[in-house]
């Protein structure tokens, strides 16, 4: 009879298969990922497939030209300041605070011009803002 205490074997974790699996997953992810360079993207904004534009009394149409000029409900504004634009939005909002501001911005309009419209709408208390786009079928036509 063997009464000597047995030495307990410590469990061993073999990391080699784990590393092999991780390398296979890494190679799979590298091969399946697509890379694109943002400097090579050719974008034409804004284009979207949407329903035809409706004319409701709760809508305030704000047009932004490529030069940064504004028109509220098809009435051109002489000034480009946020204060004058906010006053024109308040006057043009027939439904008051429930009015929806629809921004018709030219595709080449500066972002700052659109942000100015959004700031003027905020100052006027108009919180519902949307952007008008043209359908992709019309965008391809000259």
How much of the chain, in percent, has pLDDT values that exceed 90?
11
What confidence tens digit (pLDDT) does each residue in 16-48 have?
999 999 999 999 888 887 665 544 444 455 655
Task: Tell me the pTM.
Answer: 0.57
Rounded Cα distance between 113 and 87, Å, is: 16
Beta bridge partners of residue 103, listed in sequence order: 62, 131
- Statement: residue 66 has pLDDT above 70: yes
Give the model's pLDDT for residue 136: 62
Q: Which domains does the chain have, with CATH numbers?
A: 59-139 (3.30.420)
| Dihedral class, residue 94 (left if φ above 0, else alpha if ψ from -120 to 50, else beta) | alpha
Contact yes or no for 48/77 (Cβ under 8 A): no
Q: How far apart are CA 4 and CA 43, in angstroms?
A: 80
């Amino acid at each position: 009879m063997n009464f000597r205490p047995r030495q307990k074997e410590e469990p061993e974790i073999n990391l080699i298969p784990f590393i092999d699996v991780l390398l296979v997953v890494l190679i799979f992810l590298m091969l399946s990922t697509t890379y694109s360079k943002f400097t090579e993207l050719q974008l034409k904004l804004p284009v979207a497939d949407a329903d035809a534009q409706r004319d409701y009394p709760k809508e305030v149409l704000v047009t932004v030209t490529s030069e940064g000029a504004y028109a509220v409900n098809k009435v051109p504004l002489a000034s480009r300041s946020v204060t004058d634009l906010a006053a024109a939005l308040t006057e043009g909002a027939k439904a008051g605070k429930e009015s929806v501001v629809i921004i018709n911005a030219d595709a080449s309009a500066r972002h700052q011009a659109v942000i100015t419209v959004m700031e003027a709408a905020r100052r006027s208390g108009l919180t519902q803002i949307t952007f008008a786009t043209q359908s992709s079928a019309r965008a391809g036509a000259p």
